Structure 1
Amino acid sequence: MRYTLGFRLPRENLDWVRHDLTDAGWRTRLVVRHIALMIPVSLALALLPGPWWVRLMVALLAFMASTLTVAVSADDLRRSRLHRHGLEVPPGQRR
């Protein structure tokens, strides 16, 4: 959960972080983790008072906007996490 929220993991998890951010499917894992985090947040937003359609639209807007933002900024998020853990960005992936 801490990793999903952007916190740094202990040094003993460095190999796992490297695998997570450099192996095939890293982008999918990043988006799926974000979706898993946003489902309870969206459900909480849907429970706010108001007409049902407003609550539904607020929850959908938060879910879709944040997921699109993560998908579009995946490369930058990956670079930031690699840097935070003291790892190098793979060659050909630097800006």
Structure 2
Amino acid sequence: MARRTGDPSTLRWLGYALGFRLPPENREWVKHDLIDAGWRIRMLVRQCVILTPIAAVFLALPGSWGLRGLIARLVFGLGLALVAMYGDSLRAARLRQHQLPVPEDPDLGGPTDAR
């Protein structure tokens, strides 16, 4: 897949996934990432990148495999569930963080997280 204009480097993308703000030269990429079709899937993928090492730490702790596996699955599943439930709010906060307008959401009858 071809890279978009303004794509962040891998290190910047990881920072973005962790919640850091990207520089102004990446603004168009951020706009695409948070507004264009598929933004929910991209948000879940970012969350998977964050949760995978956390779940791996729980798998590496001492104890029975069953308990470690259960805790890792809970961390992963609940983390993804929270992003799925609050995706609109997270997207609106990220758009504001990058000083981009929050789009109207016809399903909610107005802008997402109107203030």
Fold similarity call, TM over 0.5: yes
Gaps of 5+ in 1: none
Q: Shift in Å at residue 36 of structure 1?
A: 2.0
1:25-69 per-residue CA deviation (whole Å, 9 max, x = no partner) reads 001100011112211211111110111111111111101011100
80-89 vs 49-58, greater mean Cα deviation: 49-58
1:76 paired residue number = 89
* TM-score normalized with structure 2 length: 0.78
**Using CA pairs below 8 Å that are at least 6 residues apart, which structure has the higher relative contact order?**
1
Identity score, percent: 44
The 5-angstrom pairing of residues 26-41 of structure 1 reads 26-41=39-54
Return the match for 1:63 from 76, 82, 103: 76
Gaps of 5+ in 2: 1-13
Q: Shift in Å at residue 84 of structure 1?
A: 0.4
1:25 equivalent in alignment to 2:38: yes
In structure 1, give the amino acid aligned to 2:22.
Answer: L
Structure 1 stretches of 4+ with a deviation exceeding 3 A read none
CA distance in 2, matches of 1:26, 1:47: 32
Q: Shift in Å at residue 90 of structure 1?
A: 1.2
CA RMSD of aligned residues (A): 1.1
In structure 2, give the amino acid aligned to 1:81.
Answer: R
DSSP 3-state at the match of 2:104: coil
* TM-score normalized with structure 1 length: 0.94
